[in-house]
Amino acid sequence: MADTFISTRPDTNTSETVPEGQTAKTQIVIKNLSVTYKDDGTRGVTAALQDVNLEIRKGEFISLVGPSGCGKTTLLRVIADLIPSTAGDVFISGLTPREARLEKRFGIVFQNPVLMDWRTIRRNVCLPLELLKMPKPLRTKKVTEMLDLVGLQEFGHHYPCELSGGMQQRVGIARALAIDPKILLMDEPFSALDEFTKEKLHEDLLRIWRQTNKTVVFVTHNIQEAVFLSDRVVVFSPHPGRVTSVVNITLPRPRTAGMKNTVDFTELVAKVRSGFVGV
């Protein structure tokens, strides 16, 4: 029953035409994307993003790194259809961001967990499934599955105010994955947490990613975090916001905490760092 329900959405690999010049494995195509803001009151125009070109492969873990104001969050939000682009195109499996959103292709994790504090943990994870009008027995099964995935099985009937920051963020991840999206968009999800919690969540995130094979677009300002987690790191620089470098992370998988002490790791971090311009 569960399978028939989910497969009412078209499968990426078979039912859509793949745009010319791209391999079947490309999932997100960003072409000449620009986003400009008109400032209210003054006659100024801010270029949040200028002429970005990027291709993201299916099942890839890609990080967008840069200081504040360099456009990385803007790019994520354009993909998520939270802000409109001013010029250029974004295609997610051939669909525009709006179409992809309406087809529920995304799971978003924000910097703060954005949990509904009047709902229990279970009901928070259940929320997107309710919006999807999934029948109740399926919902219950899916919620249990998600809570198991993030390791919060015993906390189903607690309220968000009873959980720590790290646990709340795990609920956020569980909720984002509940609708089985093809793409997980994460906007600095761990910046508000302490170092120890962060390390644990890195491990958990990589485990979940391996198990579920999602494409992950991860925004962060922490270079080490980006290098540790990703297959590729896209470096953004500000004024105007643009992509100045893309670094392939050649570290072997599965990643372990010990790798952070290796020379390879340090070199990659330096390579990413040198990709910034004007910072």
Partner 1 sequence: MQREMKKPVWEKIAASPRTVTVVWVIGLVLVWEAGAFAVEAVKRTPENVLPHLYQILASVFSTKKVTASQTAVQIVIINACVTLGRAGIGFVIGAAAGYVLALCMRLSGAVEKTVFPYLMLVQMIPILGMAPIVLAVTRDIDKSRVIIAAILTFYPVAVNTLAGFKSIEKEKFELFHSYAATTPQIYVKMMIPASVPYLFTGLKISAPMAVTASILVDTLQGGGGLGCMLSQSLKHAMSIYVFWQIVFFSAFVGILSYYGIVLLERIVSPGRRNQTRNAGGAK
Q: Is residue 62 close enough to count as binding partner 1 by CB under 8 A?
A: no
Q: Is residue 128 close enough to count as binding partner 1 by CB under 8 A?
A: yes
Q: Which of 40, 68, 161, 250 binds partner 1 (CB under 8 A)?
A: 161
Structure tokens that stand for 134 in this block = 């999934």
Q: Which of 48, 52, 70, 80 binds partner 1 (CB under 8 A)?
A: 80
CB 277 within 8 A of CB 237: yes
Q: Is residue 159 close enough to count as binding partner 1 by CB under 8 A?
A: yes
Binding span for partner 1 by CB under 8 A among 32-40, 113-121, 193-201, 212-220:
113-121
Q: Mind giving me the DSSP string for 224-236?
A: HHHHHH-SEEEEE
Q: Is residue 96 close enough to count as binding partner 1 by CB under 8 A?
A: no
**Distance between CA atoms of 106 and 177, rounded to whole angstroms?**
9
**Of 125, 232, 231, which is closest to residue 170 (Cα–Cα)?**
125
Q: Is residue 9 close enough to count as binding partner 1 by CB under 8 A?
A: no
Q: How far is the CB of 223 from partner 1 (least distance, A)?
A: 25
Among left, alpha and beta (phi > 0; psi -120 to 50; other), residue 22 is beta
Structure tokens that stand for 273 in this block = 């760092």
3-state secondary structure of 87: strand
User: Which residues in the 162-221 window bind partner 1 by CB under 8 A?
Assistant: 179
| Angle formed by the axes of helices 195-212 and 165-178, nearest 10° | 20
Q: Is residue 114 close enough to count as binding partner 1 by CB under 8 A?
A: yes
**Distance between CA atoms of 193 and 111, rounded to whole angstroms?**
10
Comparing CB distances to partner 1, the nearer of 112 and 144 is 112
Q: Is residue 11 close enough to count as binding partner 1 by CB under 8 A?
A: no
Long-range (24+ apart) CB contacts under 8 A made by 249-257 are 251/227, 253/210, 254/206, 254/210, 255/206, 255/228, 255/229, 257/199, 257/203
**Distance between CA atoms of 220 and 188, rounded to whole angstroms?**
5
Q: Is residue 79 close enough to count as binding partner 1 by CB under 8 A?
A: no
Q: Is residue 119 close enough to count as binding partner 1 by CB under 8 A?
A: yes
For 244, phi then psi, to 5°, come to -110, -10
**Of 96, 105, 70, which is closest to residue 219 (Cα–Cα)?**
70
Q: Is residue 8 close enough to count as binding partner 1 by CB under 8 A?
A: no
Q: Which of 116, 246, 257, 270 binds partner 1 (CB under 8 A)?
A: 116
CB 66 within 8 A of CB 235: yes
Q: Is residue 131 close enough to count as binding partner 1 by CB under 8 A?
A: yes
Q: Which of 118, 195, 196, 213 binds partner 1 (CB under 8 A)?
A: 118
Q: Is residue 6 close enough to count as binding partner 1 by CB under 8 A?
A: no
Q: Is residue 75 close enough to count as binding partner 1 by CB under 8 A?
A: no
Comparing CB distances to partner 1, the nearer of 120 and 222 is 120
Q: DSSP class of residue 104?
A: T
Binding span for partner 1 by CB under 8 A among 109-117, 197-205, 236-244, 263-271:
109-117
Q: Is residue 160 close enough to count as binding partner 1 by CB under 8 A?
A: yes
- Where does this chain bind partner 1 (CB under 8 A)? 80-82, 101-102, 104, 106, 108, 110, 112, 114, 116-120, 127-128, 130-132, 159-161, 179
